[in-house]
Amino acid sequence: MPRDFRVMGVVNVTPDSFSDGGRYLDPDAAVAHAVALAAEGADILDFGGESTRPGAEPVPAEEERRRVAPVLERVAAGCSAQLSIDTSKATVAEAAIAAGATLVNDVTALRGDPEMAALVAERGVECCLMHMLGEPRTMQLDPHYEDVVSEVASFLDERMAFAVGAGVREDRILLDPGIGFGKTLEHNLELLRRLDEIVALGRPVVVGTSRKSFLGLLTGRAEPDQRLAGTIATNVLALERGASVFRVHDVGTVREALVVAAATVSERWTPTTSSPTRTS
């Protein structure tokens, strides 16, 4: 059966994100980056004004809103990709929705702000519920699980029930197991290995492995932007196990890999150009 997928491009409007170190804090740079990711084939653009890397300090809501809202407005005016806001604050999400966002990517799974669920329900936007152990400042301090996959699945199932109970339509919910958010290398690999158990919850599963430190531990690549090969490998494996949304920094290259993987898994393919001339 054909498997459709969407690529979510990361736009960090922050001074301290682990992957790009503030490269897109300037609004003009952020807009240009978003436009470039859309041109590479991003189906979704995910804008964030607060870093959620391990040890990151929280950002006041007004500062977060100031960073992302003007960028979203400018991108929305000339971009066909779906726009997403990566925030756990309802006031930031509200401003982003007013600017054109139709997806709220909440790393706290609607736990961070008591007003968020009602906002998502009222506006009828999509939301992504992610598992995170603790908070960014503490999540990597000796995380422990009896069975990481079962516990993550149970958490996501409970948060989905909470969202539906608050008025969010189930068909507007995406689920993210939170690779790297309060997990060790072994936890991340186990989640990828048994991702089908998260997929069995019945909603689209978002996978965010792009450039993360566990890939560096496996490959010896110290710099985040050197971890593209590991990012591709984990996304292809996740696709095979049923994930359908892939949050990445390197949109074009990862998308090409997923196109080939999806054609192999689904046994359906569509050429994007004429066949190359055979030379040997």
Active site residues: 212, 247
Give the angle subtended at the CA of 243 by the CAs of 150 and 131, to the nearest 5°: 45
202: exposed, middle or buried (C-beta count within 10 Å: 0-12, 13-18, 19+)?
exposed
For residues 185 and 217, the answer to whether their CB atoms sit within 8 Å is yes
Long-range contacts of residues 165-170, Cβ cutoff 8 Å, at least 24 apart: 166/110, 166/117, 166/118, 166/120, 166/121, 167/117, 167/118, 167/121, 167/122, 168/117, 168/120, 168/121, 168/127, 169/121, 169/124, 170/203
CA 215/CA 154 separation, integer angstroms: 26
Got the DSSP string for 168-200? --GGGEEEE--TTSS--HHHHHHHHHTTHHHHT
Amino acid at 39: A
Location of structure tokens 């393919």: 269
Q: Tell me, rounded to whole angstroms, the distance of Cα 71 from its chain centroid.
A: 18
